[in-house]
Structure 1
């Protein structure tokens, strides 16, 4: 989860932590934050995320992000 926390720090959202839920649906993060996270993830892994992983549900919590990363980085 520390890696995910670092992604949030890099996009200027150090206020978001692993205990928070419903990040997108409760407007804790917005679409610009999601796009910035995707950009940081892609830079970190040097891999483009498939569009299937760019859905808001994948960014609702640190756990969801972690699960999405595990699936996305298998390929």
Structure 2
């Protein structure tokens, strides 16, 4: 979870933490934040995140981001 926290820190969203849920549906983060997170993820893993993983549901919580990354980056 620490890496997900670091992604939020890197995009200057230190107000978001691992206890929060409904990040997208609760309007805590928006599409610009998601794109910034995707850029951080791609930079960290040094590979693109496939479009199929870039869905609002995958960015609802730290847990959903973590699960998405486990699937997306296992190759």
Q: Indicate yes or no: 2:52 matched with 1:69.
A: no
Give me the TM-score of the superposition, normalised by structure 1: 0.98
List, as ranges, runs of 4+ consecutive aligned residues in structure 1 with deviation greater than 2 Å. Answer: none
Q: Which residue of 1 aligns with 2:10?
A: 10
Shift of 1:27: 0.3
Q: C-alpha root-mean-square deviation of aligned residues, in Å? A: 0.4
| Mapped partners of 1:29, 1:39: distance in 2 | 15
Q: Deviations over 1:10-45 (max 9, x none)?
A: 001011000000000000000000000000000000
Shift of 1:60: 0.1
Q: Kindly tell me the number of residue pairs found equivalent between the two proteins.
A: 75
Report 1:1-75 matches (<5 A).
1-75=1-75
Q: Which runs of 5+ in 1 are unaligned?
A: none
| Mapped partners of 2:14, 2:3: distance in 1 | 12
Give me the TM-score of the superposition, normalised by structure 2: 0.98
